[in-house]
Structure 1
Protein backbone atom coordinates (compact mmCIF):
# COMPACT_ATOMS: atom_id res chain seq x y z
CA UNK A 1 0.00 0.00 0.00
CA UNK A 2 1.39 3.41 -0.95
CA UNK A 3 1.01 6.55 1.07
CA UNK A 4 -1.51 9.09 -0.19
CA UNK A 5 -0.14 12.12 -1.97
CA UNK A 6 -0.28 15.11 0.35
CA UNK A 7 -2.85 17.71 -0.72
CA UNK A 8 -1.64 20.84 -2.45
CA UNK A 9 -3.16 24.23 -3.06
CA UNK A 10 -2.19 26.86 -5.60
CA UNK A 11 -1.69 30.47 -4.69
CA UNK A 12 -0.59 33.32 -6.93
CA UNK A 13 3.17 33.65 -7.28
CA UNK A 14 4.60 36.34 -5.01
CA UNK A 15 7.79 38.36 -5.54
CA UNK A 16 9.29 36.61 -2.51
CA UNK A 17 8.84 33.27 -4.33
CA UNK A 18 11.62 34.26 -6.73
CA UNK A 19 14.19 33.25 -4.12
CA UNK A 20 12.68 29.75 -4.02
CA UNK A 21 12.97 29.26 -7.79
CA UNK A 22 16.52 30.59 -7.77
CA UNK A 23 17.35 28.10 -5.02
CA UNK A 24 15.56 25.17 -6.71
CA UNK A 25 17.23 25.66 -10.12
CA UNK A 26 20.84 24.76 -9.51
CA UNK A 27 22.46 25.06 -12.92
CA UNK A 28 22.09 26.04 -16.56
CA UNK A 29 20.95 22.59 -17.73
CA UNK A 30 18.18 22.51 -15.12
CA UNK A 31 17.20 26.05 -16.14
CA UNK A 32 16.82 25.01 -19.79
CA UNK A 33 14.86 21.92 -18.76
CA UNK A 34 12.50 24.15 -16.74
CA UNK A 35 12.08 27.05 -19.14
CA UNK A 36 13.80 26.37 -22.45
CA UNK A 37 15.86 29.29 -23.70
CA UNK A 38 13.56 31.92 -22.15
CA UNK A 39 15.89 32.73 -19.26
CA UNK A 40 19.65 33.10 -19.00
CA UNK A 41 21.97 31.63 -16.40
CA UNK A 42 22.30 32.59 -13.65
CA UNK A 43 18.61 32.98 -12.96
CA UNK A 44 17.89 36.17 -11.02
CA UNK A 45 15.05 38.21 -9.54
CA UNK A 46 14.90 40.65 -12.47
CA UNK A 47 14.19 37.83 -14.96
CA UNK A 48 11.60 36.28 -12.67
CA UNK A 49 9.87 39.62 -12.04
CA UNK A 50 9.52 40.24 -15.78
CA UNK A 51 8.20 36.70 -16.24
CA UNK A 52 5.68 36.89 -13.37
CA UNK A 53 4.32 40.30 -14.37
CA UNK A 54 3.45 39.26 -17.93
CA UNK A 55 -0.27 40.19 -18.10
CA UNK A 56 -1.08 37.10 -20.19
CA UNK A 57 0.48 34.77 -17.62
CA UNK A 58 -0.98 33.25 -14.48
CA UNK A 59 1.85 32.09 -12.21
CA UNK A 60 1.30 29.91 -9.19
CA UNK A 61 3.21 28.52 -6.24
CA UNK A 62 2.11 25.12 -4.96
CA UNK A 63 1.69 24.98 -1.21
CA UNK A 64 1.72 21.75 0.82
CA UNK A 65 -0.69 20.89 3.62
CA UNK A 66 1.90 22.16 6.12
CA UNK A 67 2.01 25.56 4.32
CA UNK A 68 5.40 25.00 2.68
CA UNK A 69 6.03 26.11 -0.93
CA UNK A 70 6.80 22.91 -2.85
CA UNK A 71 6.29 23.75 -6.52
CA UNK A 72 5.66 26.21 -9.31
CA UNK A 73 3.57 26.25 -12.49
CA UNK A 74 2.27 28.83 -14.94
CA UNK A 75 -0.45 29.25 -17.54
CA UNK A 76 0.08 31.71 -20.37
CA UNK A 77 -2.84 32.61 -22.60
CA UNK A 78 -2.15 32.35 -26.32
CA UNK A 79 -2.03 35.68 -28.15
CA UNK A 80 -3.40 34.34 -31.42
CA UNK A 81 -5.35 31.18 -30.56
CA UNK A 82 -7.78 29.92 -27.94
CA UNK A 83 -6.38 28.26 -24.87
CA UNK A 84 -3.17 28.57 -22.92
CA UNK A 85 0.27 27.08 -22.57
CA UNK A 86 0.99 25.22 -19.37
CA UNK A 87 4.60 25.43 -18.37
CA UNK A 88 7.43 26.31 -16.06
CA UNK A 89 6.60 23.26 -13.96
CA UNK A 90 8.92 22.65 -11.05
CA UNK A 91 8.79 20.65 -7.85
CA UNK A 92 11.18 21.64 -5.06
CA UNK A 93 14.15 19.24 -5.00
CA UNK A 94 13.40 18.12 -1.43
CA UNK A 95 9.78 17.30 -2.40
CA UNK A 96 10.41 15.27 -5.55
CA UNK A 97 9.41 11.62 -5.85
CA UNK A 98 6.24 12.00 -3.77
CA UNK A 99 3.66 12.32 -6.56
CA UNK A 100 3.36 16.07 -6.20
CA UNK A 101 3.82 16.68 -9.94
CA UNK A 102 0.55 14.95 -10.70
CA UNK A 103 -1.24 16.90 -7.96
CA UNK A 104 0.25 20.16 -9.21
CA UNK A 105 -0.81 19.46 -12.79
CA UNK A 106 -4.30 18.40 -11.76
CA UNK A 107 -4.80 21.66 -9.87
CA UNK A 108 -3.52 23.71 -12.83
CA UNK A 109 -5.75 21.83 -15.28
CA UNK A 110 -8.75 22.36 -12.99
CA UNK A 111 -7.90 26.08 -12.82
CA UNK A 112 -7.55 26.33 -16.61
CA UNK A 113 -10.71 24.45 -17.55
CA UNK A 114 -12.74 25.59 -14.53
CA UNK A 115 -12.09 29.13 -13.32
CA UNK A 116 -10.49 30.35 -16.56
CA UNK A 117 -12.87 28.39 -18.85
CA UNK A 118 -10.13 27.73 -21.40
CA UNK A 119 -10.93 25.43 -24.34
CA UNK A 120 -7.52 23.73 -24.47
CA UNK A 121 -4.08 23.52 -22.94
CA UNK A 122 -0.80 22.83 -24.58
CA UNK A 123 2.72 22.37 -23.32
CA UNK A 124 6.22 21.67 -24.48
CA UNK A 125 8.50 19.06 -22.97
CA UNK A 126 11.89 17.72 -23.97
CA UNK A 127 11.51 14.18 -25.27
CA UNK A 128 14.24 12.77 -23.02
CA UNK A 129 12.30 13.91 -19.91
CA UNK A 130 10.44 10.61 -19.88
CA UNK A 131 8.95 10.90 -16.36
CA UNK A 132 7.30 14.19 -17.37
CA UNK A 133 6.12 12.79 -20.72
CA UNK A 134 4.58 9.77 -18.96
CA UNK A 135 2.80 12.03 -16.46
CA UNK A 136 1.41 14.30 -19.18
CA UNK A 137 0.16 11.30 -21.16
CA UNK A 138 -1.43 9.86 -18.00
CA UNK A 139 -3.30 13.16 -17.59
CA UNK A 140 -4.58 12.99 -21.18
CA UNK A 141 -2.11 15.17 -23.09
CA UNK A 142 -1.23 13.88 -26.56
CA UNK A 143 1.75 14.76 -28.74
CA UNK A 144 0.73 16.77 -31.78
CA UNK A 145 4.18 17.91 -32.95
CA UNK A 146 7.78 16.72 -32.60
CA UNK A 147 10.50 19.34 -33.06
CA UNK A 148 13.85 17.67 -33.54
CA UNK A 149 17.10 19.33 -32.54
CA UNK A 150 15.39 22.37 -31.02
CA UNK A 151 18.02 23.09 -28.34
CA UNK A 152 21.68 22.16 -27.97
CA UNK A 153 22.79 21.56 -24.38
CA UNK A 154 26.33 20.48 -23.50
CA UNK A 155 26.91 19.44 -27.12
CA UNK A 156 23.76 17.29 -27.32
CA UNK A 157 20.71 18.24 -29.38
CA UNK A 158 17.39 18.00 -27.57
CA UNK A 159 14.07 17.17 -29.22
CA UNK A 160 10.88 18.85 -28.01
CA UNK A 161 7.39 17.42 -27.93
CA UNK A 162 4.42 19.73 -28.24
CA UNK A 163 1.47 18.20 -26.40
CA UNK A 164 -2.19 19.21 -26.20
CA UNK A 165 -5.19 18.55 -23.96
CA UNK A 166 -8.70 19.72 -24.98
CA UNK A 167 -11.11 20.78 -22.27
CA UNK A 168 -13.62 18.06 -21.33
CA UNK A 169 -16.22 20.86 -21.30
CA UNK A 170 -15.96 21.49 -25.06
Structure 2
Protein backbone atom coordinates (compact mmCIF):
# COMPACT_ATOMS: atom_id res chain seq x y z
CA UNK A 1 0.00 0.00 0.00
CA UNK A 2 1.35 3.42 -0.95
CA UNK A 3 1.13 6.28 1.55
CA UNK A 4 2.60 9.76 1.80
CA UNK A 5 3.48 11.48 5.07
CA UNK A 6 4.68 15.03 5.77
CA UNK A 7 7.69 13.85 7.75
CA UNK A 8 11.13 13.52 6.19
CA UNK A 9 13.21 10.37 6.59
CA UNK A 10 16.68 11.88 6.39
CA UNK A 11 18.46 8.53 6.53
CA UNK A 12 16.55 7.22 3.51
CA UNK A 13 17.29 10.36 1.49
CA UNK A 14 20.98 10.10 2.38
CA UNK A 15 20.98 6.40 1.43
CA UNK A 16 19.53 7.22 -2.01
CA UNK A 17 22.36 9.74 -2.52
CA UNK A 18 25.19 7.51 -1.27
CA UNK A 19 27.86 6.98 -3.89
CA UNK A 20 26.28 9.51 -6.24
CA UNK A 21 28.00 12.55 -7.70
CA UNK A 22 27.29 16.27 -7.61
CA UNK A 23 25.34 16.12 -10.89
CA UNK A 24 22.94 13.60 -9.32
CA UNK A 25 22.25 15.95 -6.41
CA UNK A 26 21.85 18.89 -8.80
CA UNK A 27 19.39 16.90 -10.94
CA UNK A 28 16.90 16.14 -8.18
CA UNK A 29 17.51 19.04 -5.79
CA UNK A 30 18.47 21.99 -7.97
CA UNK A 31 21.08 24.54 -6.98
CA UNK A 32 19.64 26.45 -4.03
CA UNK A 33 18.81 24.06 -1.18
CA UNK A 34 21.82 21.76 -0.89
CA UNK A 35 25.54 21.56 -1.54
CA UNK A 36 27.50 18.46 -2.43
CA UNK A 37 28.09 16.28 -0.53
CA UNK A 38 24.60 16.11 0.96
CA UNK A 39 24.44 15.93 4.76
CA UNK A 40 21.74 15.30 7.33
CA UNK A 41 22.24 18.84 8.63
CA UNK A 42 21.41 20.29 5.21
CA UNK A 43 18.28 18.16 4.98
CA UNK A 44 17.18 19.21 8.46
CA UNK A 45 17.80 22.90 7.69
CA UNK A 46 15.77 22.73 4.48
CA UNK A 47 12.83 20.90 6.04
CA UNK A 48 12.71 23.40 8.93
CA UNK A 49 12.24 26.40 6.63
CA UNK A 50 8.94 28.25 6.77
CA UNK A 51 6.70 27.30 3.89
CA UNK A 52 8.52 24.04 3.16
CA UNK A 53 6.92 20.64 3.72
CA UNK A 54 8.95 17.55 2.91
CA UNK A 55 6.78 14.52 2.15
CA UNK A 56 7.94 10.94 2.10
CA UNK A 57 6.33 8.24 0.00
CA UNK A 58 6.11 4.75 1.50
CA UNK A 59 5.26 1.43 -0.11
CA UNK A 60 4.25 -1.05 2.59
CA UNK A 61 5.89 1.22 5.20
CA UNK A 62 9.23 1.22 3.34
CA UNK A 63 10.42 4.70 2.26
CA UNK A 64 10.59 4.90 -1.53
CA UNK A 65 10.63 8.62 -2.32
CA UNK A 66 10.65 12.22 -1.21
CA UNK A 67 8.80 15.26 -2.56
CA UNK A 68 8.80 18.83 -1.32
CA UNK A 69 5.97 21.35 -1.35
CA UNK A 70 7.23 24.93 -1.18
CA UNK A 71 6.79 28.51 -2.41
CA UNK A 72 3.19 28.68 -1.22
CA UNK A 73 1.52 31.93 -2.27
CA UNK A 74 -1.87 32.21 -0.53
CA UNK A 75 -2.78 35.35 -2.50
CA UNK A 76 -2.15 33.77 -5.91
CA UNK A 77 -3.26 30.37 -4.52
CA UNK A 78 -0.17 28.68 -5.93
CA UNK A 79 2.47 26.29 -4.68
CA UNK A 80 5.42 24.44 -6.12
CA UNK A 81 6.50 20.82 -6.06
CA UNK A 82 10.26 20.51 -5.95
CA UNK A 83 13.13 18.25 -4.91
CA UNK A 84 11.51 15.00 -6.05
CA UNK A 85 13.60 11.85 -5.63
CA UNK A 86 12.63 8.19 -5.70
CA UNK A 87 14.79 5.23 -4.75
CA UNK A 88 16.28 3.39 -7.72
CA UNK A 89 14.41 0.22 -6.79
CA UNK A 90 11.10 2.14 -6.87
CA UNK A 91 11.56 3.51 -10.39
CA UNK A 92 9.74 2.19 -13.43
CA UNK A 93 6.87 0.75 -11.38
CA UNK A 94 4.45 3.68 -11.41
CA UNK A 95 5.10 4.42 -7.73
CA UNK A 96 6.30 7.99 -8.31
CA UNK A 97 3.17 8.67 -10.35
CA UNK A 98 0.95 7.30 -7.58
CA UNK A 99 2.82 9.23 -4.87
CA UNK A 100 2.75 12.51 -6.78
CA UNK A 101 -0.92 11.97 -7.59
CA UNK A 102 -1.63 11.49 -3.88
CA UNK A 103 0.35 14.64 -3.08
CA UNK A 104 -1.58 16.72 -5.64
CA UNK A 105 -4.91 15.35 -4.38
CA UNK A 106 -3.96 16.10 -0.77
CA UNK A 107 -2.80 19.64 -1.56
CA UNK A 108 -5.90 20.50 -3.58
CA UNK A 109 -8.28 18.91 -1.04
CA UNK A 110 -6.76 20.32 2.15
CA UNK A 111 -5.57 23.77 1.06
CA UNK A 112 -6.88 26.76 -0.86
CA UNK A 113 -4.27 26.27 -3.58
CA UNK A 114 -5.61 26.21 -7.12
CA UNK A 115 -2.38 25.72 -9.07
CA UNK A 116 0.81 23.69 -8.61
CA UNK A 117 3.98 24.22 -10.60
CA UNK A 118 7.33 22.48 -10.92
CA UNK A 119 10.53 22.54 -12.97
CA UNK A 120 12.05 19.55 -14.73
CA UNK A 121 15.19 19.10 -16.80
CA UNK A 122 14.49 18.49 -20.49
CA UNK A 123 16.57 15.30 -20.51
CA UNK A 124 14.48 13.72 -17.73
CA UNK A 125 11.93 12.15 -20.05
CA UNK A 126 10.49 9.65 -17.51
CA UNK A 127 9.73 12.52 -15.10
CA UNK A 128 8.22 14.66 -17.86
CA UNK A 129 5.93 11.79 -18.91
CA UNK A 130 4.94 11.21 -15.28
CA UNK A 131 4.08 14.88 -14.77
CA UNK A 132 2.12 15.02 -18.04
CA UNK A 133 0.07 11.97 -16.98
CA UNK A 134 -0.72 13.87 -13.77
CA UNK A 135 -2.12 16.77 -15.80
CA UNK A 136 0.90 19.09 -15.71
CA UNK A 137 1.47 21.13 -18.88
CA UNK A 138 4.66 22.82 -20.05
CA UNK A 139 4.28 26.58 -19.57
CA UNK A 140 7.82 27.82 -20.14
CA UNK A 141 11.23 26.73 -21.41
CA UNK A 142 14.49 27.85 -19.77
CA UNK A 143 17.86 27.77 -21.51
CA UNK A 144 20.90 27.49 -19.26
CA UNK A 145 24.54 28.31 -19.99
CA UNK A 146 25.19 24.55 -20.04
CA UNK A 147 22.45 23.27 -22.37
CA UNK A 148 22.42 19.91 -20.57
CA UNK A 149 20.51 21.67 -17.76
CA UNK A 150 17.84 23.32 -19.95
CA UNK A 151 14.49 22.85 -18.25
CA UNK A 152 10.74 23.25 -18.45
CA UNK A 153 8.33 24.92 -16.08
CA UNK A 154 5.16 22.85 -15.80
CA UNK A 155 1.84 23.66 -14.17
CA UNK A 156 -1.33 21.89 -13.11
CA UNK A 157 -4.60 23.48 -12.10
CA UNK A 158 -7.00 22.12 -9.50
What TM-score does the superposition give when structure 1 sets the normalisation length? 0.84
Distance 2:71 2:113 in 1: 9
Distance 1:77 1:126 in 2: 19
Between the two proteins, the alignment pairs up a number of residues equal to 154
Aligned pair 1:143/2:134, yes or no? Answer: no
CA shift for structure 1 position 111: 1.3
Matched residue SS, 1:56 = coil
**TM alignment of 1:59-138, pairs within 5 A:** 59-65=54-60, 67-79=61-73, 81-138=76-133
CA shift for structure 1 position 8: 1.0
Distance 2:102 2:22 in 1: 28
2:5 is matched with which residue? 11
The C-alpha deviation readout for 1:120-165, integer Å capped at 9, x for no partner, is 0000000110111111111111111101116x4xxx6410100010
CA contact 2:30–2:83 (8 Å) conserved in 1: no
The C-alpha deviation readout for 1:76-97, integer Å capped at 9, x for no partner, is 1335742100111111122222
Q: Is the alpha carbon distance of 1:51 and 1:139 closer, same or farther for their aligned partners in structure 2, counting shifts above 3 Å? A: same
2:12 is matched with which residue? 20
Distance 1:42 1:63 in 2: 25
The 4+ residue runs of structure 1 with deviation greater than 6 A are none
Please, which runs of 5 or more residues in structure 2 have no aligned partner? none
Q: 1:30 aligns with which of 24, 38, 42?
A: 24
Matched residue SS, 2:143 = strand
What TM-score does the superposition give when structure 2 sets the normalisation length? 0.90
CA shift for structure 1 position 10: 0.8
